Amino acid sequence: MGDRTLKDQVGKKQPFESEAQAAHLNMLRTASKLAGPFHALFKQHRLTDASYNTLRILRGHHHTGDGQGVRASKIGCEMVVRVPDVTRIVDRLVGMGLAERCACDHDRRVVFVRITQAGLELLDQLDAPVNGLHQDTLGHMSDAELDTLNRLLEKARERVEDPDERTRR
């Protein structure tokens, strides 16, 4: 285990006000540190974490759907980290040629978003490096430790999770 606690790492002189505060700040610090290599990888491809996540969602709907695409509002609901403006992310992906908008056949007011071949190819190119980063960042932990961590993180979210998210499971 690391030789410095969060309290040491952030130069805190007094104890945290509670274990809950320490845990919360520890999760934030850990998420920030773990995200760094992913940010760097995505930046090489002019992507953000949110645009990469959006492409992954579009690919999932591409493989399981009717090819029509998915509504932007549904993309927002499926994001790992919620973002306020999915439309802006989609606009950027469309501008990069990685996604496209298409009208609904039976309701012209509805617009769907789908991944393009270029988007699929980019994700294919990123799959191995992303999986490698998962191993680099968390591969030092056993499967049992990771299972425990996953269960604890899910439990931590229980009280703050949206009711819509709970019913989607």
pLDDT for 134 equals 97
Nearest by Cα to 89 from 135, 136, 57? 57
Q: Flag residues of the chain having pLDDT under 50.
A: 166, 168-169
Contacts of 75 (CB under 8 A, 6+ apart): 54, 57, 58, 86, 90, 113
Please report the pLDDT score of residue 67 as a whole number.
72
Per CATH, the number for 49-124 is 1.10.10.10
**pLDDT, tens digit (0-9, with 9 covering 90-100), for 86-113:** 999 999 999 999 999 987 777 767 789 9
Taking the model in full, what pTM does it have? 0.85
Q: Where are the domains of the chain?
A: 49-124, 139-169
Residue 38 near residue 133, CB atoms below 8 Å? yes
* CA dihedral for 22, 25, 29, 32, sign (positive or negative): positive
